[in-house]
A = this chain, B = another copy of it.
Amino acid sequence: MNLPNKAVICEVGPRDGLQNEKKLILTEQKVNLVKGCIDAGIKIIEIGSFVNPRATPQMADTAEVLRGVGKVSGVEFRALVPNVRGAERAIEAGIGKIKLTASASESHNRNNFNKTPLESVRGFADCVKLAKDAGIPLSAAIGTAFGCPFEGVVSLGQVEYMARSFIDLGITEISMSDTTGMAHPLQVYTQCAAMRKAFPQVKWVLHFHNTRNMALANIFAGLMAGVTWFDGSFAGLGGCPFAPGASGNVATEDILNMFAGMGVETGVDIDKMIAVARLAREYVGHETESGVLKAGKTTDLAPFTKCAQS
């Protein structure tokens, strides 16, 4: 088996992890978390979004978080941007990369944005122009790239269509996002291989949720298909509050633990990342489903106990 021996982790905890938390996380706390990620060696951080603060109050302070962290050489801060107003705010705040998103599933895109996927992407033309004029690079995320909670199956054709639409806007860093944790590893492998072949100019990123316990299986499959950029969320934070019990994003520290075993280098210090994850969990005030936070790294040895399983 020929696995890549390097991968890149994009930390989305500050945005995808925190955006729906019930408890309001303070700007200072977010700055601490972001600085912790940087200290751990993370080079790409999705630091927040520039969406309507009334709709997503948790993200209202993204500009302040950016300011609080400051510019850091070699670290890219990206933010999710929904429209021109968001792009203007992001550029003014000094963002390093703007991320646009639309869903491969029409039902899901209409539900979230009141538009068809094509309308969404076409609507981004102005954002793209703004970003280009300001010299800010762009990336895109295709939501429901492996399945839609409303429609069910999402075809490869639908995903290719989205990719092509973003490429037409000049965007060549594209994330396939398993928004509600429906992907299975064979599908991920097949789709990634196909998309890499169809669009060799694209830097592919994978974004998985551990809703049905397949996130790491899917990452393994993506790696086998040659994708090496993965989103992770500290402590496995994130997930929709309206889907009770649904698991969150794949935990960054869980990815690092698996990669450590498999000899995939990321440049990220897992122990420092675990400390960030613990801090995040402390801030949000609840447990998460991170395996490593509960059970330790694979390499942590247990003291002799009556029962280490039998």
Contact = CB atoms under 8 A, between A and B. Distances in A.
Contacts of A215: 213
Interface residues of A, number: 70
Given A152-B299, A295-B211, A261 B187 contact: yes
A217 B185 contact: yes
Contacts of A309: 143, 149, 179-180, 209, 239-240, 243
Given A190-B1, A301-B150, A308 B251 contact: no
Contact of A220 (B211, B221, B262): B221
A212 interface: yes
A11 B179 CA distance: 31
A73 interface: no
Interface in A234-288: 239-243, 245-247, 250-251, 254, 257-258, 261-263
Given A111-B304, A186-B262, A213 B212 contact: no
How many copies of this kind of chain does the complex include?
2
A105 to B, nearest CB: 10
Nearest to A260: B184
A243 B302 contact: yes
Interface in A139-178: 143, 147, 149-152
Nearest to A101: B310
Interface in A184-230: 184-187, 189-190, 209-217, 219-221
6 contacts: A20-B307, A112-B307, A149-B308, A209-B309, A220-B220, A243-B309
The 5 closest A-B CB pairs, nearest first, are A184-B261, A212-B291, A245-B294, A217-B217, A149-B302
